[in-house]
Amino acid sequence: MDWTLHPLGDQAVLIEFGNEISEEINHTVQTAASSLDDWQPEWMVEYIPAFTTVTLFYDPLYIANHKTSQNQLPYDWVHQQVSEFLSTLTIKETGPARTVEIPVCYGGDLGPDLSYVAEKNGLTEEEVIERHMNGNYLVYMIGFAPGFPYIGGMDPAIAAPRRKDPRLKIPAGTVGIAGAQTGVYPLETPGGWQLIGRTPSKMFDPSNEEAPTLLQAGDRIQFRRITEEEYENLKEGGA
Amino acid sequence: MIHVLKPGLLTTIQDFGRYGHQKHGVIASGVMDQEAYRIANLLVGNGQHAPVLEITLMGPVLEFQQDACISICGGDLTPMINGERVGTWKPLYIKQGSELRFGKPKTGFRAYLAVAGGFNIPLTMNSASTYIRAGIGGYHGRPVEKGDVLEPSELSPLSNRVMEQWKADAGDAGFHEASWYVGHAFNHNGYTKEPIRIMPGREYDWFDKESQNRLTSETFKIDSKSDRMGYRLTGCQLSAVEERDLLSEAVAFGTIQVPAEGNPIILLADRQTTGGYPKIAQVASVDLPRLAQMRPGESFSFTMITHEEAQRLYLQQEKDINLLARGIEMKLT
C-alpha cells in the first residue's frame, strides 16, 4: 500500500492512496476511514473520504496546547502521527459489500430525459432501463450534497452528456445520468444531469444521527424498477 | 423573547459549524467570521460556540420583549436602540420593550448579534447552524422572517451577574452601554486593506508561471454572484498548464479553486464538502475573518506566505483571543 501526505491549508492533511479510479484503491480508502473511526484521536475534528484520498481535519490549537513542544508545528506532529497510523494499517479481505436496493420509477414525468438518452445511444427506452438496472454499481464516495453518491460501474452504452442549459430545480430522489456516471439527487438542487427516473427512497434523513444517509461509500447498489403506482405508495409510506 | 419585526437582507442563526458529518456530504456551514462570532459570545458571558444571529449588510429590526444582555461584533452596520446609535464590540444591556434596528452599513459585511445565554435553538447533527438548502438547523432550517420569535437560553452565572449589575446601572433608560470595547487589534474592519495571505494549493504547479505571478500581483474583485458558499473573483484569469482531470477530493474553508474558465472561487462556510477543480491556493486561517467582512464589489489582492508561517500566525491569533477572553471575563466580574 502506497500513500503520500499533503497539507490542505493549516488545519488539514490529505492522505493520497493513488490517482486513478479503481475499486482496489477505493477499498484502501474505506479501510483507512473505518480505522480512523476506531482510532478517533482527540485532536481529530473529522475526516472526508473521496475516490483515492482521505482528508483529516485536525485542531492545531489542541495539538499546540497538549501535544507539541514550543518549536514543533502542528502539521509536522500530525504528519508523524498519521504516518505511524498508516504504517500499521492492514488491508483486510472483507466480506461482500452491503447491497442497497433503490426502487426507481423510470421515464414519464419522473424521468423526462429517458427518451433523449435512448435516442442518443440508438436504444429503445426499455433497453436503457434494462442496462441501467444491470450495472455493477459501487459507491466510491459521498460528496456534493448530503448523501449524494459518486457511483461507478454504469454501462457506457447509456452514457449521455450533461444538458447545455441546467435545470433550476431537480426534485429530491431524481435518478440521472451525466457522462458515464449515474447518480441520485438527495435534495432539490439545480443541475445539468439527464433525468431518467425517480426513487421514493429518502436519501438523506437528518434525524438519523448515526446513519443520516441511505448510501455510504463502499456500498453496492441494485436499482429495481417500480410502477408509478408503487412509487406513489412508497412515497406516501415514507420509504 | 425577541420578536422579528423585519428580517433584514439575510439573517441566519449560526454557530461554529456542523462538524463530523462532512463525510456524509453534509456541509459544515457555521459563521463566516469566526473571530467576531467568538468575541461576541465572550462579551455577554457565553461559551465561545453559542448560537448567534449572523446579520448580512442590511440588519433586521428586533423588538425585545424581555430584558437582555447583547453584543454586536464584526462589521459596523450602524446598530441603534430606540433610535439611538450604540457601539459595537462591547456588551449592551437592553430593556424589555426596546427596539434594536440597523441603519446604513458603515464597515464590513456581516455583524454577529450574541445574546446572553445564546439563542435557544435545538441542535441538528450537533449544530445550530442554518443549512438552508437542506432545510435543517437554525430557525426552522431557514433565515429568520418577519413574525419569528427568538428565545435566549438560560443565562450562565456570569451573564446573570452582568445582567443584574447593568439593570441597576440603566435605571429608567431603555438600554445601557458598557464604557469599554474590544480594541481594534480584533476589530479588523478598521484595518487598512492589507493583502489576504495565502499558501500554495495542491495543484499550484498545474498553473503556468504567468498565472502563478498574476495570483499575487494583480487585484481581484468579489463578484456580485458571491454568497456564503463562495466568493467568485473576477478581474484576472488564471489558466492551468494542461487540461487534466482531477478526481473530486476534500476542500476546506478558504480553498481557492479555479474552474476551466479561469476565474478563481474562494470556498467559504457553506462550501460543498468535496470539489473537483484544481486548487491553486488556500487562504491562511488567520485571514478568513477579514475576508468574510469584504463585500461583493470590493477589490483586494493576495500575498503568498509559507505553510509554516500560516500555522504560526494561527497559533498566535488563538493566543491573542485567549488573552482577550481572560481580559473580558475580568471586566465582566
User: Are residues A77 and A9 both part of a single domain?
Assistant: yes
For residue A189, the model assigns a pLDDT of 84
Q: pLDDT at residue B28 above 90?
A: yes
| Same domain? A83 vs A103 | no
Phi, psi dihedral angles at A78 (to 5 degrees): -65, -40
- Strands in chain A per DSSP E: 4-7, 12-16, 44-49, 53-58, 99-106, 137-142, 149-152, 167-170, 174-178, 181-184, 189-191, 194-198, 220-225
Domain that holds residue B134: 2-189
Query: Which of A187, A219, A188 is CA-nearest to residue A203?
Result: A187
Chain A residues with beta carbon closer than 8 angstroms to that of B318: 60-61, 64
Residue A54 CA to residue B23 CA, distance in Å, equals 10
Assess whether A8 and A64 both reside in one domain.
yes
In a domain, A188, yes or no: yes
Indicate which CATH number applies to the domain containing A64.
3.30.1360.40
CA-wise closest residue to B281 among B307, B300, B260, B299: B307
Same domain assignment for residues A62 and A111: no
Number of domains in chain B: 2
Sole residue written with cell 431537480: A170
Its ipTM equals: 0.95
Cα separation, B173 vs B176, in Å, equals: 7
Indicate whether B260 pLDDT > 90: no
Q: Which residues of chain A make contact with B244, given a CB cutoff of 8 A?
A: none
Q: CA B248: distance to chain centroid?
A: 27
- Other beta carbons less than 10 A from residue A94's beta carbon: 11
pLDDT value of residue B187: 67
- State the nearest Cα–Cα gap between B96 and chain A, in angstroms: 36
pLDDT in tens, A176-208: 998 888 999 999 888 888 999 999 999 999 888
Domain endpoint, select from B189, B207, B236: B189
> Alpha-carbon distance B118 to B136, whole Å?
19
Chain A partners within 8 Å of B199 (Cβ): 7, 9-10
Which residue of A lies nearest to B283 if distances are taken between CA atoms?
A9
Q: What is the pLDDT of residue A62?
A: 95
> Do residues A141 and A232 share a domain?
yes
Domain membership flag for residue A93:
no
List the one residue out of B278, B122, B116, B307 whose CA is nearest residue B200. Answer: B307
Is residue A231 included in any domain, yes or no?
A: yes
Stretch (H or E) spanning A66: helix A60-66
For residue A138, give the CATH number of its domain.
2.40.100.10
Candidates B34, B249, B286: best to mutate against A (most CBs of A within 10 A) is B249
Q: Looking at residues B42-66, what average pLDDT do you find?
A: 96
Is A9 in Cβ contact with B283 (below 8 Å)?
A: yes
Q: Which residues of chain A neighbour B253 with C-beta distances below 8 Å? A: 9
* CATH code of the domain in which B267 resides: 2.40.100.10
Comparing CB atoms, the residue among B125, B255, B315 nearest residue A212 is B125
Q: Where are the alpha helices (DSSP H) in chain B?
A: 34-43, 157-170, 209-217, 288-292, 307-332
Whole-angstrom distance, CA of residue A19 vs CA of residue A28: 13
pLDDT in tens, B284-324: 999 999 999 999 999 999 999 999 999 999 999 999 999 99
Q: Do A55 and B249 touch (CB under 8 A)?
A: yes
Residues B77 and B209 in one domain: no
Distance of CA B252 to the CA centre of its chain: 16
- pLDDT, tens digit, 9 for 90 and up, residues B142-156: 999 999 999 999 998
Q: How many structural domains are present in chain A?
A: 2
Structural domain including A69 reads 4-87
Helix (H), strand (E) at residue A231: helix A228-236
**Assigned domain for B329 exists:** no
What are φ and ψ of residue A135, in 5° steps?
-70, 155
